[in-house]
Structure 1
Amino acid sequence: MISLLKPIRATWFALMLLSGCLRAPTTPAFHAGDTKILFLGNSLTYTNDLPSMLLRLARLAGDTTMQAAVLAEPDFSLQEHWETGTAQRWLRERQWDFVVMQQGSSALSAGQAHLRAWTEQFAPLVRASGAQPVLLMVWPQQHRLFDFANVLTSYRNAAGSVSGIFVPAGDAWTAYEQYDRLYVDGLHPTPGGTYLTALTLLERLRGIRPDQLPPTIPGAAVDSTTVRALQRAAITALERNPARPPMPGAMPQ
């Protein structure tokens, strides 16, 4: 039985500080030589512990240098992260290598403008910390599958507007033949959905191709045939989307 429909409970590594649960006010510390990743997001990031999944996959590929910290609150946007202030403090007090940003689907015109504006707001501070801005494309709610193309446009344009890295996780969902099975509750991902997202992140951040990994999902009982299909979907999305999209045109007023 394929267990794509049961969510994994998060098990947080010591360096992975989920603000919604731990509310750690202290800037995280890392070892010299670590590849330091800061996640700014919401429940789409912390469901099934996406950052931990990313690190576990990296270790399977022999990369033990990646460490991550997380600022994620339910239903948070980048604007709310900015207004809370913790993200700015962490960016000023610590050097980072990548800052991975996501909010909701941002598919409608107003949402696209909002995502782009707050990506551009964060970008100078992200770069001042030594990091590259990374836009993690998410997915629409299950009853709005027709929005996938607009979500893709929204996150690609936001990445392009800051010369950032684009991670086509949501597009990998569409490349998977049964992508509607990647939802656990109409919005949040199953372990398969989180794994697929982590595959696209790992390739964009470290150049590790999905098919370099074994056909297993850490912490989930999913058969190898399904895992290989997820890996192929990730490769399809990665190959048809640029890592660094061009600068988009001006947003309509």
Structure 2
Amino acid sequence: MCLATPLLGDDKTPQDPETATTIKVLFVGNSFTFWNGGLDKHLKILSDSMTPSLGYQTESVVRGGASLEVMWNKTKAVEKIKNGKFDIVILQEDIPETSVKSFKEYSQKFVELVRKSGARPILFMAWDYERLNWISMEQIMAAHLEISKSLKVEVAPVGFAWSLSKKRQPALNMYDKDAEHPSVAGMYLSLIVIEATISGKDPRSRAPKNLPIKNLDTLNSDGRKFLRNVAKESNLQWKKLLSKQKR
């Protein structure tokens, strides 16, 4: 069920889980999306753990190491978007694996396709990492700011949130042992930022007593609370950056 409150372009947003019966969400991306069990599955678990339920129904089209260009040309993502009758499509790019040029080209292709299908596109900004360090987090952010402005598309500022977390609490590692994929903490922060972008709700409110995500119990309650606060701060700061871009 799409709600018709316009925010950017012709997209219908925010999706309010408290009033919508069911919100169908598709994730398109690579291992940053499916690592540690998959953000699509975690969003469903979070949804079902809240009282009342947030109503999310989730699916994914994923491929390891894939850029949006690869997802467009070599997977069933396009077909899935056309035929899936989704409310929201989360588009995750991994710029270090590709190029800024490719990101811009295929973000536009996907955003136009998602809008044509009647769904609301959201770009999932990922992060920088050492293995492919030709681009910095600041440059990844700049590319997302530019595409957000040109396409009038929303961005879930996950990589930005990671950078804030690293500054505030360096000991809480966002990366898994390979220094590239998300740790449990990185996964949880990604999840909370994305859900807050979808719903427009304060991420600090997404704190059910029991959240049965595998290995989440390795992150204590103080750590989770800290990350929810980081999610709120990063989303607010991102909106301020967008506002400056539009002047």
Which interval holds the TM-score relative to the shorter structure?
0.7 to 0.9
Per the alignment, residue 237 of structure 1 pairs with: 234
Q: Which moved more, 1:44-53 or 1:110-119?
A: 110-119
CA distance in 2, matches of 1:119, 1:138: 14
Match of 2:25 among 5, 29, 37: 37
User: Secondary structure of the residue that 2:80 maps to in structure 1?
Assistant: helix
Cα-Cα RMSD: 2.8
8 Å CA contact 1:142, 1:180 repeated in 2? no
Work out whether 1:53 is the aligned partner of 2:42.
Answer: yes
Q: Deviations over 1:169-217 (max 9, x none)?
A: 1111111122771111111001110110011111110123221132776
SS in 1 for 2:25: strand
What amino acid does structure 1 have at the position aligned with 2:32? L
> In 1, Cα distance between the equivalents of 2:84 and 2:186?
31
Structure whose residues are more often helix by fraction:
2
Alignment of 1:137-156 (within 5 A): 137-142=125-130, 144=133, 147-156=136-145
Point out where structure 2 has 5 or more consecutive residues left out of the alignment.
1-19
- TM-score by length of structure 2 reads 0.78
CA distance in 1, matches of 2:175, 2:74: 29
TM-score by length of 1: 0.76
1:65-91 CA-to-partner distances (Å, cap 9, x unmatched) read: 211111110110111111125122112
Q: SS where residue 133 of structure 1 aligns? A: strand
Post-superposition Cα deviations, 1:31-60, rounded to whole Å, max 9, x if no partner, equal x95211111100000001111112222333
Q: For 1:109-151, what per-residue CA distance to the aligned partner results, in whole angstroms no more than 9, with x for missing partners?
A: x722211110111222111111111110111114649811111
SS across alignment from 1:70: strand
Name the CA distance, whole Å, in 2 between partners of 1:145 and 1:195: 27
What amino acid maps onto 2:65 in structure 1?
Answer: D
Question: When the two structures are aligned, how many residues end up with a matched partner?
Answer: 216
Query: Is structure 2 residue 221 aligned with structure 1 residue 224?
Result: yes
Query: Is residue 97–residue 132 contact of structure 1 (8 Å, CA) maintained in 2?
Result: yes
Q: Structure 2 residue aligned with 1:114, among 102, 124, 133?
A: 102
Query: Following TM superposition, by how much is the alpha carbon of 1:167 offset from its aligned partner in structure 2, in angstroms?
Result: 0.4
Is the 8 Å Cα contact of residues 23 and 57 (structure 2) preserved in structure 1?
Answer: yes
Q: 2-side partners of 1:145 and 1:241: how far apart?
A: 23
Q: Relative contact order: is structure 1 or structure 2 higher (C-alpha 8 Å, sep ≥ 6)? A: 1
* SS at 1:40 equivalent: strand
8 Å Cα contact 1:166/1:242 also seen in 2: no
Q: 1:231 is aligned with what amino acid? A: R
* Alignment map for 1:60-139 (pairs within 5 Å): 60-61=49-50, 62-84=52-74, 86-106=76-96, 111-139=99-127
Conserved in 2, the CA contact under 8 Å of 1:139 and 1:151?
Answer: yes
- Aligned partners of 1:150 and 1:179: how far apart in 2? 24
Structure 1: unaligned runs, 5 residues or longer: 1-31
Query: Does the 8 Å contact 2:30/2:92 carry over to 1?
Result: yes
Give the secondary-structure state (helix, strand or coil) at the position aligned to 1:74: coil
**8 Å contact kept, 1:159–1:165:** yes
